[in-house]
Amino acid sequence: MSNLLEGKSALILGVANRWSLAYAIAEAFRREGARLILTYQSDRQKLTVESLAADLAADRVLACDVTQDQDVDRLVAEIKAGGGRLHAVIHSIAFANREDLSRPFVETSRSGFLLAHEVSAYSLVTVARAAAPLMTEGGSITTLSYLGATRVVTNYNVMGVAKAALEAAVRYLASDLGPKKIRVNAISAGPIKTASARAVKDFASVLDFVAQRCPLRRNTEPAEVADTAVFLASDLGRGLTGNILFVDSGFQIMGL
């Protein structure tokens, strides 16, 4: 590839460690010439993300808890003060209580249901609303989903329902922001060994099942998701919005 994102500024939310998909995307964005702004949620994560940002040669590292409107507003104000424009946003944020992923969905607590949706779905809305005024030349907003949004995946439970809301939000945001030349898409990645995936009970068996039955007979690699994110953020993806792109070795096409 050859500097597909040269001259573009990208805000990446969700870089937690070197195994996160957000980190793989940040690496690919940097490779293609993008200027990076990373966020961290709390002081507990600050040193880790700052270390990762140094390895990625990120321009800035800013605090942002997406469940707090004032944090999102402050993030935007700091970006604006530091130069102002954004061309791409990567939303790689999701959370559900571990107990709600380990018991039947019908037993999901009210508080657990609301928390999963606030962090995993509504945060895309608040981030898009805040970032849009900074995308004065248009741009791309990309989030990460999973097959559990449309099919029942054992032990995915409330997170699957939250991802379904996230995918619906992608379509509505794409419609709202299209006149501003802002494209909104989701990548539905196959199961990948990340720290957050460990919260899903029996996740190793999911990896084995998918590798045995998907058309490519292997699990998805983080770099494949990252390259798709580059495509969506670049001019090559200029005609795509409101889409859910599957990067899962073809597993989504399979029946019994």
> Looking at the annotation, which residues are catalytic?
146, 156
Residue that is written with structure tokens 């895309």 in the block: 124
Please count the other Cβ atoms lying within 10 Å of the Cβ belonging to residue 82.
12
CA separation for the pair 80, 141 (Å, rounded): 18
